[in-house]
Structure 1
Amino acid sequence: MMHVRTSTTLTYAGARAALDAAFAKATDLGLALNIAVCDGAGTLLAFARMDGAFAHSGSIAIDKAATVCGFEGIATDDLYDGLAGEDAVVRGIANRPGIAAFGGGVPIRVGDDLIGAVGVSGGSAQQDKEVASAGAAAVTTKEQR
Protein backbone atom coordinates (compact mmCIF):
# COMPACT_ATOMS: atom_id res chain seq x y z
CA MET A 1 0.00 0.00 0.00
CA MET A 2 1.30 3.44 -0.96
CA HIS A 3 1.30 6.04 1.81
CA VAL A 4 2.47 8.96 -0.31
CA ARG A 5 2.19 10.13 -3.89
CA THR A 6 3.93 12.65 -6.06
CA SER A 7 1.77 15.33 -7.60
CA THR A 8 2.09 18.18 -10.04
CA THR A 9 1.39 21.64 -8.62
CA LEU A 10 0.11 24.75 -10.36
CA THR A 11 2.50 27.65 -9.80
CA TYR A 12 1.64 31.32 -9.53
CA ALA A 13 3.19 31.77 -13.00
CA GLY A 14 0.83 29.09 -14.32
CA ALA A 15 -2.11 30.74 -12.59
CA ARG A 16 -1.17 34.08 -14.18
CA ALA A 17 -0.90 32.41 -17.60
CA ALA A 18 -4.44 31.06 -17.15
CA LEU A 19 -5.71 34.40 -15.86
CA ASP A 20 -4.11 36.34 -18.71
CA ALA A 21 -5.48 33.97 -21.38
CA ALA A 22 -8.98 34.10 -19.89
CA PHE A 23 -8.76 37.90 -19.66
CA ALA A 24 -7.72 38.09 -23.32
CA LYS A 25 -10.60 35.82 -24.38
CA ALA A 26 -13.11 37.90 -22.42
CA THR A 27 -11.73 41.05 -24.03
CA ASP A 28 -12.02 39.47 -27.50
CA LEU A 29 -15.66 38.65 -26.74
CA GLY A 30 -16.32 42.18 -25.46
CA LEU A 31 -17.16 40.96 -21.96
CA ALA A 32 -16.31 42.37 -18.52
CA LEU A 33 -15.92 39.38 -16.20
CA ASN A 34 -14.45 38.18 -12.94
CA ILE A 35 -11.78 35.48 -13.32
CA ALA A 36 -10.37 33.26 -10.56
CA VAL A 37 -7.67 30.60 -10.68
CA CYS A 38 -7.26 28.07 -7.87
CA ASP A 39 -4.68 25.39 -7.21
CA GLY A 40 -5.68 21.73 -7.01
CA ALA A 41 -6.84 22.12 -3.41
CA GLY A 42 -9.20 24.94 -4.39
CA THR A 43 -7.08 27.70 -2.86
CA LEU A 44 -7.13 30.99 -4.75
CA LEU A 45 -3.89 31.77 -6.60
CA ALA A 46 -4.92 34.61 -8.92
CA PHE A 47 -7.97 36.82 -9.43
CA ALA A 48 -9.00 39.68 -11.69
CA ARG A 49 -12.11 41.81 -11.81
CA MET A 50 -12.15 43.35 -15.25
CA ASP A 51 -13.20 46.99 -15.54
CA GLY A 52 -16.99 47.09 -15.52
CA ALA A 53 -17.45 43.54 -14.17
CA PHE A 54 -20.18 43.01 -11.59
CA ALA A 55 -18.63 43.30 -8.13
CA HIS A 56 -20.78 40.57 -6.59
CA SER A 57 -19.90 38.00 -9.23
CA GLY A 58 -16.26 38.03 -8.05
CA SER A 59 -16.99 35.65 -5.21
CA ILE A 60 -19.01 33.48 -7.61
CA ALA A 61 -15.97 33.13 -9.90
CA ILE A 62 -13.88 32.06 -6.90
CA ASP A 63 -16.58 29.59 -5.81
CA LYS A 64 -16.77 28.09 -9.32
CA ALA A 65 -13.03 27.41 -9.38
CA ALA A 66 -13.06 25.96 -5.86
CA THR A 67 -16.13 23.84 -6.65
CA VAL A 68 -14.30 22.18 -9.55
CA CYS A 69 -11.45 21.22 -7.22
CA GLY A 70 -13.76 20.10 -4.43
CA PHE A 71 -15.58 17.76 -6.80
CA GLU A 72 -12.35 16.21 -8.14
CA GLY A 73 -12.24 18.09 -11.43
CA ILE A 74 -15.87 17.99 -12.53
CA ALA A 75 -16.63 21.11 -14.56
CA THR A 76 -19.40 23.11 -12.92
CA ASP A 77 -21.78 22.76 -15.89
CA ASP A 78 -21.28 18.97 -15.80
CA LEU A 79 -22.00 19.02 -12.07
CA TYR A 80 -25.20 20.98 -12.79
CA ASP A 81 -26.23 18.47 -15.46
CA GLY A 82 -25.39 15.53 -13.22
CA LEU A 83 -27.64 16.86 -10.47
CA ALA A 84 -30.62 17.46 -12.76
CA GLY A 85 -33.67 15.67 -11.44
CA GLU A 86 -32.12 15.10 -8.01
CA ASP A 87 -34.15 17.76 -6.23
CA ALA A 88 -33.12 16.89 -2.67
CA VAL A 89 -29.45 16.74 -3.66
CA VAL A 90 -29.64 19.98 -5.64
CA ARG A 91 -31.24 21.81 -2.73
CA GLY A 92 -28.61 20.42 -0.37
CA ILE A 93 -25.66 21.28 -2.57
CA ALA A 94 -27.05 24.64 -3.68
CA ASN A 95 -27.37 25.69 -0.05
CA ARG A 96 -23.79 24.86 0.87
CA PRO A 97 -21.51 27.88 1.22
CA GLY A 98 -18.90 28.12 -1.52
CA ILE A 99 -20.59 25.76 -3.99
CA ALA A 100 -21.38 27.06 -7.48
CA ALA A 101 -22.94 24.25 -9.54
CA PHE A 102 -23.54 26.08 -12.81
CA GLY A 103 -21.43 26.80 -15.89
CA GLY A 104 -18.16 28.72 -15.74
CA GLY A 105 -15.78 26.52 -13.74
CA VAL A 106 -13.34 24.24 -15.58
CA PRO A 107 -10.47 22.05 -14.41
CA ILE A 108 -6.82 22.51 -15.24
CA ARG A 109 -5.28 19.10 -15.79
CA VAL A 110 -1.81 17.91 -16.65
CA GLY A 111 -2.24 14.34 -17.78
CA ASP A 112 -4.58 12.77 -15.25
CA ASP A 113 -3.58 15.18 -12.47
CA LEU A 114 -6.01 17.88 -11.39
CA ILE A 115 -3.71 20.82 -10.69
CA GLY A 116 -6.26 23.61 -10.46
CA ALA A 117 -9.30 25.27 -11.94
CA VAL A 118 -10.47 28.47 -13.58
CA GLY A 119 -13.75 30.03 -12.52
CA VAL A 120 -15.41 32.85 -14.44
CA SER A 121 -18.54 34.83 -13.63
CA GLY A 122 -20.42 37.77 -15.08
CA GLY A 123 -21.60 36.49 -18.47
CA SER A 124 -23.92 33.71 -19.51
CA ALA A 125 -22.99 30.22 -18.33
CA GLN A 126 -21.75 29.43 -21.86
CA GLN A 127 -19.67 32.62 -22.08
CA ASP A 128 -18.20 32.01 -18.63
CA LYS A 129 -17.25 28.45 -19.62
CA GLU A 130 -15.70 29.58 -22.92
CA VAL A 131 -13.52 32.12 -21.15
CA ALA A 132 -12.57 29.70 -18.35
CA SER A 133 -11.67 27.03 -20.92
CA ALA A 134 -9.34 29.46 -22.69
CA GLY A 135 -7.58 30.06 -19.38
CA ALA A 136 -7.21 26.36 -18.60
CA ALA A 137 -5.93 25.64 -22.11
CA ALA A 138 -3.14 28.19 -21.67
CA VAL A 139 -1.67 26.10 -18.86
CA THR A 140 -2.18 22.64 -20.31
CA THR A 141 -1.03 23.61 -23.81
CA LYS A 142 2.17 25.18 -22.49
CA GLU A 143 2.77 22.25 -20.14
CA GLN A 144 2.57 19.76 -23.03
CA ARG A 145 5.27 21.52 -25.09
Structure 2
Amino acid sequence: MNALSSTALSLATARRTIETGLAHAASLQVAGIAIAIVDAGANLLAFARSDDCFLGAIDLAQRKALTAVRFRAPTASLGALSGDGGPLRGIEHSHGGLVTFGGGEPLLDRDGRCVGAVGISGGSVDEDRAIAEHCRVRFLATLHHER
Protein backbone atom coordinates (compact mmCIF):
# COMPACT_ATOMS: atom_id res chain seq x y z
CA MET A 1 0.00 0.00 0.00
CA ASN A 2 1.29 3.47 -0.84
CA ALA A 3 1.94 5.28 2.45
CA LEU A 4 0.56 8.50 1.01
CA SER A 5 -2.81 6.91 0.31
CA SER A 6 -3.01 5.44 3.80
CA THR A 7 -4.24 7.19 6.91
CA ALA A 8 -0.93 6.29 8.60
CA LEU A 9 2.03 8.65 8.49
CA SER A 10 5.08 6.77 7.20
CA LEU A 11 8.63 7.25 8.41
CA ALA A 12 9.68 8.20 4.87
CA THR A 13 7.05 10.94 4.72
CA ALA A 14 8.03 12.16 8.18
CA ARG A 15 11.68 12.37 7.12
CA ARG A 16 10.75 14.31 3.96
CA THR A 17 8.74 16.72 6.10
CA ILE A 18 11.75 17.23 8.37
CA GLU A 19 14.00 17.90 5.36
CA THR A 20 11.43 20.43 4.11
CA GLY A 21 11.52 22.17 7.49
CA LEU A 22 15.31 22.25 7.68
CA ALA A 23 15.54 23.66 4.14
CA HIS A 24 12.93 26.32 4.87
CA ALA A 25 14.69 27.29 8.10
CA ALA A 26 17.94 27.70 6.16
CA SER A 27 16.19 29.84 3.54
CA LEU A 28 14.92 32.09 6.36
CA GLN A 29 18.41 32.10 7.92
CA VAL A 30 17.07 30.52 11.11
CA ALA A 31 19.78 28.45 12.77
CA GLY A 32 19.62 26.11 15.71
CA ILE A 33 16.26 24.45 15.20
CA ALA A 34 14.71 21.17 16.27
CA ILE A 35 11.94 19.43 14.32
CA ALA A 36 9.73 16.67 15.71
CA ILE A 37 7.12 14.62 13.86
CA VAL A 38 4.54 12.58 15.78
CA ASP A 39 1.95 10.18 14.42
CA ALA A 40 -1.80 10.39 15.06
CA GLY A 41 -1.36 8.54 18.36
CA ALA A 42 1.11 11.18 19.60
CA ASN A 43 4.09 8.81 19.27
CA LEU A 44 7.39 10.34 18.18
CA LEU A 45 8.04 9.15 14.62
CA ALA A 46 11.00 11.26 13.51
CA PHE A 47 13.22 13.94 14.97
CA ALA A 48 16.14 16.08 13.83
CA ARG A 49 18.04 19.02 15.20
CA SER A 50 20.71 21.21 13.75
CA ASP A 51 24.18 21.11 15.27
CA ASP A 52 23.78 24.48 16.97
CA CYS A 53 20.35 23.76 18.46
CA PHE A 54 19.94 24.81 22.09
CA LEU A 55 18.89 22.12 24.54
CA GLY A 56 15.46 23.57 25.35
CA ALA A 57 14.41 23.49 21.70
CA ILE A 58 14.63 19.69 21.63
CA ASP A 59 11.92 19.27 24.25
CA LEU A 60 9.80 22.19 22.99
CA ALA A 61 9.66 20.85 19.41
CA GLN A 62 8.31 17.54 20.68
CA ARG A 63 5.80 19.23 23.00
CA LYS A 64 4.56 21.45 20.17
CA ALA A 65 3.99 18.41 17.94
CA LEU A 66 2.22 16.56 20.77
CA THR A 67 -0.02 19.54 21.50
CA ALA A 68 -0.93 19.99 17.81
CA VAL A 69 -1.87 16.32 17.35
CA ARG A 70 -3.80 16.08 20.63
CA PHE A 71 -5.93 19.11 19.81
CA ARG A 72 -5.88 18.60 16.01
CA ALA A 73 -5.06 22.32 15.80
CA PRO A 74 -2.09 24.65 15.42
CA THR A 75 -0.50 25.45 18.77
CA ALA A 76 -0.76 29.17 17.99
CA SER A 77 -4.55 28.90 17.90
CA LEU A 78 -4.57 27.61 21.46
CA GLY A 79 -2.94 30.80 22.71
CA ALA A 80 -6.08 32.93 22.46
CA LEU A 81 -8.25 30.11 23.76
CA SER A 82 -6.08 29.52 26.82
CA GLY A 83 -5.42 33.15 27.75
CA ASP A 84 -7.25 35.26 30.31
CA GLY A 85 -10.98 34.96 29.68
CA GLY A 86 -10.55 32.23 27.06
CA PRO A 87 -12.66 29.06 27.14
CA LEU A 88 -9.52 26.95 27.71
CA ARG A 89 -7.95 29.35 30.21
CA GLY A 90 -4.97 27.74 31.94
CA ILE A 91 -5.18 24.43 30.08
CA GLU A 92 -1.41 24.37 29.64
CA HIS A 93 -1.16 24.05 33.43
CA SER A 94 -3.69 21.24 33.74
CA HIS A 95 -2.29 19.10 30.93
CA GLY A 96 1.44 19.00 31.66
CA GLY A 97 3.55 19.93 28.71
CA LEU A 98 1.03 21.60 26.42
CA VAL A 99 2.35 24.49 24.35
CA THR A 100 0.06 27.42 23.57
CA PHE A 101 2.25 29.45 21.22
CA GLY A 102 3.26 28.98 17.59
CA GLY A 103 5.39 26.21 16.14
CA GLY A 104 3.13 23.14 16.14
CA GLU A 105 0.90 22.20 13.21
CA PRO A 106 -1.32 19.17 12.61
CA LEU A 107 -0.66 17.16 9.45
CA LEU A 108 -3.88 16.30 7.64
CA ASP A 109 -4.42 13.71 4.94
CA ARG A 110 -6.42 14.28 1.74
CA ASP A 111 -9.68 13.69 3.61
CA GLY A 112 -8.86 16.16 6.36
CA ARG A 113 -8.00 13.49 8.95
CA CYS A 114 -5.15 14.28 11.29
CA VAL A 115 -2.38 11.72 10.66
CA GLY A 116 0.25 13.41 12.81
CA ALA A 117 1.84 16.73 13.61
CA VAL A 118 5.04 18.69 13.26
CA GLY A 119 6.69 20.74 15.98
CA ILE A 120 9.42 23.32 15.42
CA SER A 121 11.52 25.09 18.03
CA GLY A 122 14.73 27.08 18.12
CA GLY A 123 13.85 30.28 16.29
CA SER A 124 11.56 33.04 17.44
CA VAL A 125 7.92 32.07 17.91
CA ASP A 126 7.10 33.71 14.56
CA GLU A 127 9.95 31.85 12.82
CA ASP A 128 8.94 28.52 14.38
CA ARG A 129 5.36 29.10 13.30
CA ALA A 130 6.36 30.00 9.73
CA ILE A 131 8.51 26.88 9.40
CA ALA A 132 5.81 24.62 10.86
CA GLU A 133 3.17 26.12 8.56
CA HIS A 134 5.49 25.60 5.59
CA CYS A 135 5.92 21.94 6.58
CA ARG A 136 2.14 21.51 6.83
CA VAL A 137 1.51 23.12 3.44
CA ARG A 138 4.27 21.13 1.71
CA PHE A 139 3.05 17.91 3.35
CA LEU A 140 -0.45 18.45 1.97
CA ALA A 141 0.89 19.48 -1.45
CA THR A 142 2.92 16.27 -1.60
CA LEU A 143 -0.22 14.24 -0.92
CA HIS A 144 -2.12 16.00 -3.71
CA HIS A 145 0.84 15.69 -6.10
CA GLU A 146 1.09 11.94 -5.47
CA ARG A 147 -2.59 11.42 -6.22
> TM-score w.r.t. structure 1 length?
0.87
Separation in 2, partners of 1:132, 1:36:
10
Cross-structure match for 2:121:
121
Cross-structure match for 1:144:
144
Cross-structure match for 1:3:
none
Equivalent runs, 1:18-57 vs 2, <5 Å: 18-31=17-30, 32-57=32-57
For residues 14-70 of structure 1, what are the alpha-carbon distances to aligned partners after superposition, in whole Å with 9 as ceiling and x for unaligned?
A: 101110100101111111211111111111111111121111211110000010111
Separation in 2, partners of 1:112, 1:97:
27
Query: Which residue identity does 1:120 align to in structure 2?
Result: I
Q: Residue 53 and residue 87 in structure 1: after superposition, are their counterparts in 2 closer, same or farther (change >3 A)?
A: same
After TM superposition, what 4+ stretches of structure 1 lie above 4 angstroms from structure 2? none
Separation in 2, partners of 1:92, 1:99:
8
Secondary structure at the aligned position of 1:61 is classed as helix
How far 1:124 sits from its partner (Å)? 1.4
Query: Which residue identity does 1:133 align to in structure 2?
Result: E
Secondary structure at the aligned position of 1:56 is classed as helix
Separation in 2, partners of 1:20, 1:137:
14
Separation in 1, partners of 2:67, 2:21:
18
Cross-structure match for 1:99:
98
Contiguous gaps of at least 5 residues in structure 1: 1-6
Aligned-residue RMSD, C-alpha: 1.8
1:102, 1:125 within 8 Å by CA — same for their partners in 2? yes
How far 1:122 sits from its partner (Å)? 1.2
Contiguous gaps of at least 5 residues in structure 2: 1-5
Cross-structure match for 2:81:
82
For residues 111-133 of structure 1, what are the alpha-carbon distances to aligned partners after superposition, in whole Å with 9 as ceiling and x for unaligned?
A: 21001111001111111011112
Q: Residue 93 and residue 53 in structure 1: after superposition, are their counterparts in 2 closer, same or farther (change >3 A)?
A: same
Secondary structure at the aligned position of 1:67 is classed as helix
Separation in 2, partners of 1:92, 1:108:
22
Identity of aligned residues (%): 31
